[in-house]
Copies of this chain bind each other. A is one copy, B any other.
Amino acid sequence: MISKLIHKIEATHAPIVVGLDPMLKYIPDQIQQKAWETHGETLAGAAEAIWQFNKGIIDATCDLIPAVKPQIAMYEQFGVEGVAAFKKTVDYCKSKGLLVIGDVKRGDIGSTSEAYAVGHLGTVTVGSHTYAGFDEDFATVNPYLGSDGIKPFLNVCEACDKGIFVLVKTSNPSSGEFQDQQIDGVPLYELVADKVVEWGKESMDGAYSNVGCVIGATYPEMGKMLRKRMPHTYILVPGYGAQGGKAEDLVHYFNPDGLGAIINSSRGIIAAYQQERYQKFGSEHYADASRQAVLDMIADIHGTIAGRKSV
């Protein structure tokens, strides 16, 4: 699966992913009103609003980008109806040729972890039929429970040609509380990184592994060191833009081949029309604002990796 992502990154020249993390406050009034008219001010109405909002952004940006990363929490907050909108979004993105990274941060043990892996990436058997529950292409996974939590995902990656991104060093201010703790002079996130490399050897797909990792753009020094420590691991990089990660820092996350990292932006893209810079589009043309924000992000990142092989 990672080779599919790389091909799409090369085809679009865009090592970026758009985070489809809809909140009602990002959604233009006219979309909300229309959803209330058909579904009422209900969970189903909210689900309709976020789906229509997503669809506009997907239609306006799908030719520019390799992948999207819907954050399932933003859908789960609206209950079962929200989760249905998540699934609708996943399916629509795939119909538009986009790869889908399910930002689900699941993690459990044994048969439970297997159920998550099956539900999000694999297939489940019902009687004499098999079905894919959510059918993302990649999922993010939490490593706190150790190999028991990861192995079932590796099995599904191998069986169904899928991929995972394991949390190594997250972008948030308090990520260091546990992740930076020193163990014989080595921080925990490095131990996790070494395990990610070990797990990744079981699922190589060309020069890179189907087992990637997450390292926040807000910790560029750590990104630089980890990039060297795990040369065959793709890095999913959150924290660019709204969270404070700067383009000039992103160069450290790429390998000399111009590959090895994919940078996420969520509200910087999907709520672009609410920024002063893109205000001229107006809420009616929020999706055009998102398209312009994607173009600007690609240019910003290309600027940072100039001098390395163009992606």
Chain A positions within 8 Å of B, measured between CB atoms, are 21, 23-24, 32, 36, 41-43, 45-46, 71, 73-74, 76-80, 82-84, 87, 105-113, 115-116, 118-120, 124-129, 131-134, 142-149, 167, 170-179, 181-184, 188, 191-192, 195
In the complex the two chains form, is B42's CB within 8 Å of A131's CB?
yes
Kindly report which residue of chain B lies nearest to residue A135, judged by CB atoms: B79
Listed by A's residue number, 15 A-B pairs whose Cβ atoms lie within 8 Å are: A21-B112, A36-B127, A42-B129, A73-B116, A74-B115, A80-B87, A83-B83, A105-B107, A109-B171, A142-B142, A142-B144, A146-B174, A146-B176, A146-B177, A148-B175
Complex interface: chain B residues within 8 A of A87 (CB): 79-80
CB distance from A185 to the nearest CB of B (A): 11
The list of the 3 closest CB pairs from A to B, nearest first, reads A41-B127, A79-B133, A146-B174
Kindly report which residue of chain B lies nearest to residue A36, judged by CB atoms: B127
Question: How far apart are the CA atoms of A107 and B146 in the complex, in Å?
Answer: 16
Complex interface: chain B residues within 8 A of A179 (CB): 144, 146
Identify which of B23, B84, B107, B129 contacts A80 (C-beta below 8 A).
B84
Given A73-B112, A115-B74, A133:B82 Cβ within 8 A? yes
Question: How far apart are the CA atoms of A168 and B143 in the complex, in Å?
Answer: 13
Extra contacts besides A76-B134, A77-B116, A142-B144 (17): CB < 8 Å: A21-B112, A24-B125, A32-B127, A41-B126, A71-B112, A80-B80, A80-B84, A105-B106, A107-B142, A142-B142, A144-B178, A146-B175, A148-B172, A178-B188, A181-B188, A183-B188, A188-B188
In the complex the two chains form, is B42's CB within 8 Å of A126's CB?
yes
Kindly report which residue of chain B lies nearest to residue A111, judged by CB atoms: B23
Complex interface: chain B residues within 8 A of A112 (CB): 21, 71, 73-74
Question: How far apart are the CA atoms of A182 and B112 in the complex, in Å?
Answer: 28
Complex interface: chain B residues within 8 A of A41 (CB): 126-129
Question: How far apart are the CA atoms of A24 and B128 in the complex, in Å?
Answer: 13
Identify which of B24, B77, B106, B177 contacts A119 (C-beta below 8 A).
B77
Complex interface: chain B residues within 8 A of A181 (CB): 181, 183, 188, 191
In the complex the two chains form, is A119's CB within 8 Å of B78's CB?
yes
Complex interface: chain B residues within 8 A of A195 (CB): 177
Complex interface: chain B residues within 8 A of A192 (CB): 178
Given A148-B173, A170-B145, A178-B143, A76:B116 Cβ within 8 A? yes
Kindly report which residue of chain B lies nearest to residue A186, judged by CB atoms: B181
Identify which of B43, B113, B178 contacts A126 (C-beta below 8 A).
B43
Complex interface: chain B residues within 8 A of A105 (CB): 106-108, 142
Question: How far apart are the CA atoms of A45 and B23 in the complex, in Å?
Answer: 32
Complex interface: chain B residues within 8 A of A73 (CB): 106, 108, 112-113, 115-116, 119
